[in-house]
Amino acid sequence: MVIGGLATLVPAVAGLLVWMDPLRRRGAGAETGFTRIAPLSALPSDGVPRKFTVLADRVDAWTKTPAAPVGAVYLRRTGERTVEALQTVCPHAGCFVDYRPEAKDFFCPCHNSTFTVDGAINDPKSPSPRPMDTLAVEVRGEEIWVRYQNFQAGQREKHAIS
Ligand code: FES
């Protein structure tokens, strides 16, 4: 009877642990760390922004996808070893913002918001309720790391949603 009980209990506990794995990981705390984006040498010294895809491990319940594209950022050199990072999603309604090299500004094609090269609202009639969203950035050695986050659109205040 003991052997039979163990033979039933061990697989049942193992199955329960696998089934509960996403909940246990969530309880361990959300991952809000920095992601390596690009080498510092990839940014020109003249302060012109460059767009980079953000790759990160995507974990969805029981599935882990390594180095999957999760978004994009604009990086701009503000000094020899200082960098500014901007979210590429428009704070108005979530369209993607383009950088226009000829105008030296950011432009959202959905409702014509424009932003200066540092992300500030360029036009007082802009429908965007706030400037482009800045992201925390660190230069570690010769690499640029960003804490990639998304933010609620359409709000005057910046609220992170992931
Ligand atoms: S979504 Fe960018 S201006 Fe409306």
128 lines ligand 1 (CB under 6 A): yes
For ligand 1, atom 3, the nearest C-alpha belongs to 111
**Cα–ligand 1 centroid distance for 161 (angstroms):** 18
- Residues 27-68 pLDDT 10s: 443 445 899 999 999 999 999 999 999 998 878 778 888 889
95 lines ligand 1 (CB under 6 A): yes
Among 12-16, 90-94, 134-138, which is the least confidently predicted range? Answer: 12-16
- Residues 112-142 pLDDT 10s: 999 999 999 999 899 999 999 999 999 999 9
Can you give the three-state secondary structure of the chain, one letter per residue? CHHHHHHHHHHHHHHHHHHHHHHHHHHCCCCCCCEEEEEHHHCCCCCCCEEEEEEEEEEECCEEEEEEEEEEEEEEECCCCCEEEEECECCCCCCECEEECCCCEEEECCCCEEECCCCCECCCCCCCCCCCCEEEEEEECCEEEEECCCECCCCCCCCECC
48 lines ligand 1 (CB under 6 A): no
For ligand 1, atom 4, the nearest C-alpha belongs to 111
132 lines ligand 1 (CB under 6 A): no
For ligand 1, atom 1, the nearest C-alpha belongs to 93
Q: Which atom of ligand 1 is nearest to the CA of 153?
A: 1
Residue 64 Cα to chain centre, angstroms = 17
Give the global pTM: 0.80
pLDDT at 99 exceeding the cut of 60: yes
